[in-house]
Amino acid sequence: MVFLDKHIGKIVVLVLLILFLIAWFGPFTVKYELNYTGKVYSAKKWSIKQENDQYITENRNFTDGISTSQQNYIFERGDIVELEFSEGIKNNAYVKKDTPLLEFRSYLLEQQLADLKSQVNLQLATTRAEQTGRKVSIVLEAEKNLKLMQQQLDLAEKNFARSEQLYQGEIIPAAEFQVVENELALAKTNVELAKQRIVSVTTGRKVESIGEINAQMNVIETQLNILNEKKRNYNVSAPFEGEVIMDAFSNDLISIVDTSAQVVIVPIEVEERSFINAKSSRACLELEGCDDDFDIVVHLDKKVNLVDNRQVILAKVNVPERHKRLDEGLLVNCRIMCDTISIREYIKRKFF
């Protein structure tokens, strides 16, 4: 006993050394496993958000590899744009593909359409007068148009006076006041054009020939068709079937998420990428009711990404259908079984 008490420390060190040598040089193997935290995403997500004078749609596909496609709706500076959601579009509503979601209403576009339609009416009246030899209808139409433009000018002047006081009192921003200024300038221009039209039809000048009138009509109708097509493109429909997300705390005005499948995106350290074999490596998600089976294929992205100042490779792990639907953005622990290695290799990977 005295000997053991005296040399117990050395004996422990010797035993540990022997165990280490056996483990280092022996035929023993262990399964190498990585543990990471991933985030849950729907298989596909479409969203629209506003940036300055434009609205941007973004379509992300997490099933076939993370990809992004965008479409921009750009409006002129000073334009008044309203976003009107279709009936029944609300948070958590379920929509089919091509279901109308929303419509952009542009003040300048509506004004341009109204002006062109007014010109069409005048040209039609001119054509009738040319065919009948009478100009009365043209004059009446021109006078009616002038009266309408003067009413719009009166409203624009009142709105400008009220907005000018609010702007000087720093109640409204400069951008909003600029919109009001543009409305007033446009109203004045329309009045002048209406006055010129009356002068043109009442001075006794010979009315243009029907051929010339028809040529002008073709130009106006072409412009009208272009604007109508532009307006139709301002109607946005669902790109795929899914659930509507309208979150007041999100930068997205509206989103559609595909509820048919979900994936977990896992950031893998670049240094550990080589440990994952695309053919043999399997993953297990630590979810409620998880049976601890490593049966999920791991898909590695080829591009290096920067996440929190770390160089990572994004791995995609599909959520098995046997699990109930998870909340979007939920953090989930993901265990990835890589390969079977010697204890020596295990120590190297973990500590060197």
Amino acid 294: pLDDT = 65
Amino acid at 311: Q
CB atoms inside a 10 Å sphere around CB 139: 16
Residue 239 DSSP class: S
Rounded Cα–Cα distance for residues 52 and 66 (Å): 27
The single residue listed with the structure tokens 């060197």 is 352
SS3 label, residue 184: helix
DSSP 308-332: TTEEEEEEEEEPPTTSPPPPTT-EE
Highest mean pLDDT of the ranges 89-98, 163-172, 279-288: 89-98
**Looking at residue 207, what is its pLDDT?**
45
Q: Which residue has the higher pLDDT, 252 or 15?
A: 252
pLDDT for the residue numbered 302: 82
Which strands sit side by side in the sheet containing 81-85, from one edge to the other?
81-85, 100-106, 235-237
Boundaries of every domain in the chain: 29-42+261-351
Per-residue pLDDT tens over the stretch 222-265: 888 888 888 888 899 999 999 999 987 888 889 999 988 889 99
Mean confidence (pLDDT) of the chain: 79
What is the C-alpha to C-alpha distance for residues 276 and 104, in angstroms, rounded to an integer? Answer: 48
CATH class of 29-42+261-351: mainly beta
pLDDT tens-digit series, residues 25-78: 667 788 888 889 999 999 889 999 888 778 888 888 887 665 666 777 877 777
Lowest mean pLDDT among 194-203, 261-270, 279-288: 194-203
